A = this chain, B = another copy of it.
């Protein structure tokens, strides 16, 4: 693994806070997987297939609401570990994960994780801490969703979805609408408002953030 990849992983607070020995133990069992665009990493209801980390590219997590509509599409950026929930409790995946565009991941399959954890049982505690971190994210998400205006939620969603360093988000409007939890037409109206204000630029299958500070201001209205 190249140094650049190590740097990417170390930017993650959870991974950086791990004890060195267990970090190395985990990496020793990890294998690199190169995925084509849109490859299925795991599906909703699948039995757990281990722990993953994004090294390069983008992974999108999608759940299904009761009416079958997509929701809770989280965009996972490089440096982030995911899939720990089912890995720890052994229950079926609560959402599906697919690569968006070509991607390079680290994969620690279940038996590999078990091997590493047999040597260093504290790895289970580390995994629990990762679940905690994501639980707190979910709680913040709920707190920010309820009672917030659509305009604010849209701004937050755009900021979360934009890859650091690049002000461009490749996403269809109906997907974005599902994330914000509104109808596609309503989303389009709000996007057009933001475009008139010079904050974003709306194109086919892509949204460019022109005024990052302005968008952040909207997100805290």
Contact = CB atoms under 8 A, between A and B. Distances in A.
Contacts of A89: 129, 132-133
Given A125-B124, A128-B124, A142-B142, A147 B181 contact: yes
B139 A63 contact: yes
A66 B122 contact: no
Contact of A142 (B71, B122, B136): B71
Contacts of A72: 139, 142-143, 146
Q: How many copies does the complex hold?
A: 2
A147 B66 contact: yes
Nearest to A133: B89
Given A69-B147, A142-B72, A135 B134 contact: yes
A88 B147 contact: no
Nearest to A117: B125
A139 B125 CA distance: 22
Give the most central of A122, A143, A181: most B CB within 10 Å. A143
A67 interface: yes
Contacts of A122: 121, 124
A55 interface: no
Nearest to A135: B135
A138 interface: yes
A143 B141 CA distance: 13
Contacts of A142: 63, 71-72, 138, 141-142
B85 A143 contact: no
A132 B64 contact: no
A69 B66 CA distance: 27
Interface string A131-173: 1111110110111101110000000000000000000000000
Interface of A: 63-67, 69, 71-72, 85, 88-89, 91, 94-95, 121-122, 124-125, 127-129, 131-136, 138-139, 141-144, 146-148, 181
